[in-house]
Chain A
């Protein structure tokens, strides 16, 4: 673990967990911006993937119905 990095980026405030002190890392503006961009892209990719699966399902259903599969 990179202790130097952890220390340099650590907030002054601390919480505790089971009696142990937790250091919360304060992200730099660059790290925050990059993480936000990645999160947005992951969310868009997941929504896009769901949309594509939905579109494929509709196409397959329509194809099967028109081929007489519904009756």
Chain B
């Protein structure tokens, strides 16, 4: 009998790039951006090196949550056209390695955050990773059409974490920033789900259009848009947002509202034609696709306005305009 010193199958051919892809780099970009905006908008100055390390920890933490999500969801990712080329469905990275990578990255990110900033920020980061990878991915996603409504909280934490990095606490303004992303998630995700319903249906994920139908989803998109726009205007009432933010939220919000109403009046999600790429459009779905694309731009615009006002000393309080 011979004994192999390497009992465990073939050696992986995964490259560092495959592990980077596990971290959902596009999602990480938005996390870093909104987290940085929260950090910069906070009323406490922070050492720039500590701030850079905190943002890095936030990015790695978000990536860890993404890796854990991909590890758990690899079965449904293999079914969905949008996700079937991810590293695990392609067979490049094993689920076990993805779990190990995610857990190590999460521990490293939280440890780094605790050392670079404070325990409040590190605790929020740890909780957001747990919320996304366990509460959303393992519990909500496959069990309820409200999955992304509740699970959206995970993606809403970054600006609150960024704020906590600087101040060491959670204030009303940071809660408003949380609410903006929390209420932005349903219309954003459901717009995508409307024109990708077949994908979710094949994977048996009860997204709203799959579980309740496209007409009901379109109504919910319009209703959540009202809530989101109200939240996006709220920083103007507390003084967090100045003139630049006012312009971005009012004009940008008007366009968001228009596109959401257009989805509400459309037949998006009703068609049964084939679904191909992420941005491929079926005849009736252009309204949903436009809202999905613009929703990203609008959220970016809001947080860019905060960055410009508080990071580039361009903050002009609205009271100065009213008083003039």
Contacts and interface: CB of A to CB of B under 8 A. Distances in A.
B116 A56 contact: yes
Most chain A CB neighbours (cut-off 10 Å) among B1, B49, B56:
B49
B14 A34 contact: yes
B112 A23 contact: no
Contacts, number: 73
B237 interface: no
A54 to B, nearest CB: 11
A6 interface: yes
Given A1-B7, A21-B2, A22-B2, 9 more contacts: A1-B9, A22-B3, A31-B13, A35-B12, A38-B15, A38-B19, A52-B56, A52-B116, A56-B112
A61 interface: no
Given A6-B4, A20-B3, A23-B4, A41 B16 contact: yes
B100 to A, nearest CB: 12
13 contacts: A5-B9, A17-B3, A20-B2, A23-B2, A23-B4, A30-B13, A34-B14, A34-B15, A35-B11, A35-B12, A38-B19, A53-B115, A63-B47
A20 B6 CA distance: 15
B209 to A, nearest CB: 40
A-B pairs, 7 with minimum CB distance:
A41-B16, A31-B11, A34-B13, A21-B2, A56-B115, A23-B2, A56-B116
A65 interface: no
Contact of B2 (A14, A55, A60): A14
Interface residues of B, number: 26
Contacts of A52: 53, 56, 112, 116
A27 interface: yes
Contact of A5 (B1, B10, B13, B116): B10
A13 interface: no
B53 A56 contact: yes
B5 A24 contact: yes
A22 B2 CA distance: 5
Given A2-B9, A37-B16, A25 B4 contact: yes
B117 to A, nearest CB: 9
Nearest to A31: B11
A34 to B, nearest CB: 4
Interface in B242-269: none
Contact of B14 (A2, A21, A38, A53): A38
A7 B108 CA distance: 39
Interface string A26-68: 0100110011011001000000010011011101100100000
A60 B4 CA distance: 50
B3 A21 contact: yes
A63 B4 CA distance: 55
Interface string B89-121: 000000000000000000010001001100000
B50 interface: yes
A29 to B, nearest CB: 10
A36 to B, nearest CB: 10
Contact of B11 (A27, A49, A57, A63): A27
Interface string A1-20: 11001100000001001001
